[in-house]
Structure 1
Amino acid sequence: MDRVKKLSGNKIYRNCICIFLCFLSLFPFYLLFINSTLKSSDIQGTIRLIPGLNFFKNLKGLLEGEAKTSNVNVLQAMKNSLMVTVPATFLQVYFAALTAYGVHTYDFKFKKAAWGFIYAIMMVPTQISIVGFIKVAKMTNTYRTYIPLIIPAMAAPTTVYFMKQYMEASLSYEIIEAARIDGTTEFGTFNRIVIPLIKPAMATQAIFAFVGSWNNLFTPTMIIGNERKKMTMPMYVEALKANDKTQDMGQIYCGLFLTVLPILVMYAFLSRYIVAGVALGGVKE
């Protein structure tokens, strides 16, 4: 009986900790929404916990370009972000899974060296290679376009590493061998057999890839520059914050809320895969 009471007490204690941590995670989003419904003067005062009545006015200001961001409204910025993020997410997840599959399945010369090279690339920050990256974009006539923001997503060493770890833990080589015996091509095996088996890992990495691409401010700023009609949502919000003369905190928070919204929708659709994906993907070799 004492053991049962102790286990029940531990369960209640753990549940309370989880609820508290969930509250800490969600409270900033709640404050973000609250501030998006307030006037600029109200935000600069004390913290409000009750929604205001100014959300649609703030949204109207963003839609009509009252924020003075060179005639670019929030819908155009969101469209630009989706044009970059959706294909970049697909390319990153698919080609990372394909690369991990090749490293996991095949034995070839310099396999360890290739895997070591992937490890090394993981440690190189984007800022170090940005000068060469811009030079390549100019040489290929893709500077000031979205192409340099999309195509390089195919080479994502961190995603490759996670995918390979997941395959090491869950993908049986016997299944691949059986598909080959049945006459399935290598790409057919990967697309029709392997992908369904690694859906949790792909869904998890799709969320991370989507968030990373959607929130990326540094690279689009370097590539798009002053092309205001092409700026993404992070660039748009940064433009709102940078304009001191017409700065409206209500509109800024409304823009931030709209920036977070697609991420929350993406998470809602793919969240059921996260636990399984992270649990197996985190297994060490």
Structure 2
Amino acid sequence: MKKKRSFSRKAIYTLLILLTIISIVPFYMMIINATRENQAILGGFSFLPGSALIENYRTMMDYVNIWNGFKNSLIVSVSVTVLSGYFSALTAFGFAVYEFKGKNLLFIFMLLMMMVPGQLGLIGFYELNNAIGTLDTYIPLIVPAIASPFVVFFLRQYLSTTLHPSLLEAARMDGAGELKIFHTVALPIMMPAVATMSIFTFIGSWNNYIVPLVVLFSPEKYTLPVLMGFLKGSQVATNLGSMYLGIAISVVPIMIAFLFFSKYIISSISAGSIKG
């Protein structure tokens, strides 16, 4: 029995190691190709880095200022992540804790909004921003993204399984107001779920291409995905090393986000299983 269990454990570890290698190799090859010449890349892949990193970087920078796009994407993505996390948590707290008229109807409407593709309202969204004068600014990229039905739904379900009513009653008996209860009791409990949703919110905002392409007109305000789109349509597209380098730079923040916050995904998913 012990030998069978040991063999199963080794097989699982071997499979996990194999899957890890398969996941890492594409990123490794992307970084390696960023250092190689165009002809070397066309000649086949190699696990050894090349010597054309500086040349590829100069070629890329001759056409686009990728660091300006990096800064613009970082401003938008961080703003969206912070505001969406806070206000979605506040909305989820209201749905999970309070009883009010039309609560179920509003919640159902929110679920229906999760099923509507954002591209369907893109023309109306453009006309609205044109009417209120917010085109070519970051307002259309930040403010609408704060209202995320899926994040509210996820946080509401999480809070329903982790927040015991006795905690709220004890806080109210101590004289705490509702906002103080949210900040001192509910929000710390929701932090694993907020961090989990923040990862996906950040990645979604960072990779957003169609909305910045529609509402931004000034090249100095372009986000990184828009710049990468222009890079693919320029003469740089013939230099694969420069393309790989630009893609590698755009992927770094996403990898950092997963590196620091991935542990919260496990804690938020397993929260419901430990409720007594």
Report TM bin, short chain: over 0.9
Q: CA deviation at 1:55?
A: 2.1
How large is the Cα RMSD of the aligned pairs? 1.8
Distance 1:131 1:280 in 2: 41
Q: TM-score, normalised by structure 2?
A: 0.94
Partner residue, 1:280: 271
Distance 2:199 2:8 in 1: 32
- Of 36-45 and 115-124, more deviation after overlay is shown by 36-45
Q: CA deviation at 1:56?
A: 3.0
Distance 1:260 1:178 in 2: 46
One-letter amino acid of the counterpart of residue 130, structure 1? L
Partner residue, 1:172: 164
One-letter amino acid of the counterpart of residue 198, structure 2? A
Q: Does 1:259 align with 2:250?
A: yes
Q: Does 1:103 align with 2:95?
A: yes
Q: Secondary structure of 2:142's partner?
A: helix
Q: CA deviation at 1:155?
A: 0.7
Distance 2:58 2:173 in 1: 61
Alignment of 1:45-194 (within 5 A): 45-62=43-60, 65-66=61-62, 68-69=63-64, 73-194=65-186
Distance 1:33 1:251 in 2: 11
Distance 1:40 1:281 in 2: 51
CA deviation string 1:198-250 (max 9, x = no partner):
211111111111100001111111111x4211111111111111114764211
Among 3, 6, 18, the alignment partner of 2:4 is 6
Report percent identity of matched pairs. 36
Distance 1:215 1:229 in 2: 18
Distance 1:276 1:155 in 2: 24
Q: TM-score, normalised by structure 1?
A: 0.91
List alignment gaps of at least 5 residues for structure 1.
Answer: none
After superposition, the Cα gap between the structure-2 partners of 1:57 and 1:185, relative to the gap in structure 1 and judged at 3 Å, is: farther
CA deviation string 1:44-77 (max 9, x = no partner):
2212221112223323333xx31x24xxx11111
